[in-house]
Structure 1
Amino acid sequence: MTAAPLCIAACQITSGPDPADNLATMKTWVRRAADSGARVVVFPEATMARFGSPLAAVAQPLDGPWATAVSELAEAHSVLIAAGMFTPDGNRVRNTVLLSGLGHHTGYHKIHLYDAFGFRESDTVAPGAHPVTINVDDVVLGVATCYDVRFPALFQQLATSGATAILLPTSWGAGPGKAEQWEVLVRARALDSGSWIVGCDQADPKTTGVQVDPGAPTGIGCSLVVDPLGQVTGRLAAAPGLLFTEVDTATTTHARRATGVLANRATF
């Protein structure tokens, strides 16, 4: 039996350094998304506090006050919220996607850390080790974060674990060719895994006049949704915005049968 289409909203915002201010921003966007029928509301990586902020100072556990407030917000609007936060881990933190609402409260810890393009995320962030899936209205969702998108095996593992759509909160680093790389990578991971990909980036701070650390990955906008055959079905520009999609699992089934991308995979 095919599940009914699942409405997912991607909220392309610009986070600031203060978790309380960012939570207030989330309340507005969750209300807008839920009022338009979303069951899943996705925010970017580093929604709790943007990169370039002192992450250890803001990190909280999944049962801490910030995540608890997000949980209450999700329950108030009967949605699942996916939002980037930072959780404590010894001398470093974890880059975590909080997943809360509709009976869930858990997190995915980013596996692949952004030690690239002159930035070293691993100096302050400890890597996760385990892929995460979650079930919403009989649709299995996988979760990945930003730099994870460069690693196809994670997306294929999520697909073989049952995911038909993958949420991808992001705070993409700016630079020559980076916007083009972002789209190519998201479309490729959709094809690799035969999955819907919902890529939700931080809005470009330049569009809102926010001053940020120019050396930190603080977003370029360009959030997009790609179907399991690699077609872009929705996109945003650089400014803050709200992007809706209806995830149809029948499209996933058709794509995987047509391409054989999972069934024909060789293991070495």
Structure 2
Amino acid sequence: MKVAAGQLAPTTDLAANRRTIETLVEEAAAENVELLVLPEEAMLLADGVDVPLGELARAEWPGFVEFVSGLAKRNGMAIIAAGYEGTDGDRPYNTIVAIDERGVERARYRKLHLYDAFAYRESDYVTPGDGNPVVVELAGANVGLINCYDLRFPELTRNLIDQGADLLSVSAAWVTGPMKEDHWRTLLRARAIESTAWLVAAGSASPDCIGMSMVVDPFGVVRVALGGETYGLAAGTVSQRRTDEVRIVLPVLENRRLNTSISL
């Protein structure tokens, strides 16, 4: 299956973001991509909006989902996209939506782990999700949805694998800073290695973010990667055969012994 991470630099201009996303989708379609993953905040960069974010999310989220659905249907491509979903209050959800190749919404995941770290507080303006981690079938694969800071919580990824995920999708706006690029690459490879699963990571390249989108195989090999460019497509082919090969050599999922009762 051909997959791709679409890298862009979202702004506070919703229309401009849509134009960039549409171009990415069309380029991916030209490369026969079956599943495209877009970064966190692909809909809208929250920092700098001139109206309350909660109000903006209530007004714009439904139209964003409809827009992505239309692109998916028109191009025959499954798309994973992220943005701000309105709530009844002032703080929206940071939500990932999964659309299949027919343009049908198959799942949405509201970010569980908000980025309250490195002197930043996402929870000041976002409502945390209260659901379980989400696995969705797209383009013939069982895809586990991960949103940025979630990457630092291996138990979430393991839950996705236990639900049957064979491909991990990461949408992120990974903020720059000392060691942050190293953490990003290390954590992506670690999640793939410990899960013996393919991973597709789309990183925002907005001014404070690192970009660095990539596709990682089940043995932790980075198959294709971008740098900090503000626009790009990291496309590669994932295969169940490669997953099966790695899981024979490295059967960590079978070898687990946690939650095993031992009689003395």
Indicate whether the TM-score tops 0.5: yes
Distance (Å, rounded) in 1 between the aligned partners of 2:59 and 2:145:
19
Q: Secondary structure at the match of 1:115?
A: coil
- Structure 1 residues 248-257 or 169-178, which shifts more? 248-257
Q: Which residue of 2 aligns with 1:141?
A: 143
Report the CA distance shift for 1:60/1:252 in structure 2 as closer, same or farther (over 3 A): farther
Number of the residue aligned with 2:22: 27
Query: Would you say 1:38 and 2:33 are equivalent positions?
Result: yes
Any runs of at least 4 consecutive aligned residues in structure 1 with deviations exceeding 6 A, and if so which? none
TM-score w.r.t. length of structure 2: 0.89
Q: What's the counterpart of residue 156 of structure 1?
A: 158
Q: Check the 8 A contact 1:18/1:48 in 2, yes or no.
A: no
Deviation at 1:102, TM superposition (A): 2.1
Answer yes or no: is 1:267 the counterpart of 2:258: yes
1:226 paired with 2:226, answer no
The within-5 A match list for 1:96-175 is 96-103=95-102, 104-105=104-105, 106-128=107-129, 129-175=131-177
Amino-acid identity (%): 35
Superposed displacement of residue 248, structure 1: 0.7
RMSD: 1.7
> How far did 1:93 drift?
0.9
Measured in 2, the distance between the counterparts of 1:177 and 1:145 equals 20
Query: Could you tell me how far 1:257 is from its partner in structure 2?
Result: 3.0
Aligned counterpart, 1:238: 228
What letter is aligned with 2:120?
F
Equivalent position amino acid for 1:144 in 2: I
2:141 aligned partner, one-letter code: V
Stretch deviating more after TM superposition (44-53 or 257-266) = 257-266
Count residues in correspondence: 251
Deviations 1:36-73 (A, max 9, x none): 10011111000111131443233148971121111111
Matched position secondary structure for 1:107: strand
2:253 counterpart SS class: coil
Q: Secondary structure of the equivalent of 2:11?
A: coil
Q: State the AA in 1 paired with 2:44.
A: A
Deviates further, 28-37 or 252-261: 252-261
Letter in 2 for 1:243: A
Task: Provide the rounded CA distance (Å) in 1 between the counterparts of 2:64 and 2:216.
Answer: 31
Query: Whole-Å Cα distance in 1 between the matches of residues 35 and 58 of structure 2?
Result: 23
- Aligned partner of 1:154: which letter? L
Gaps of 5+ in 2: 260-264
Partner of 2:262: none
Residues 118-143 of structure 1: per-residue CA shift (max 9 Å, x gap)? 11111111222221112123221111
1:67 and 2:65 are equivalent in the alignment = yes
Q: Secondary structure at the match of 1:174?
A: coil
- Check conservation: 2:4, 2:33, Cα contact below 8 A: yes
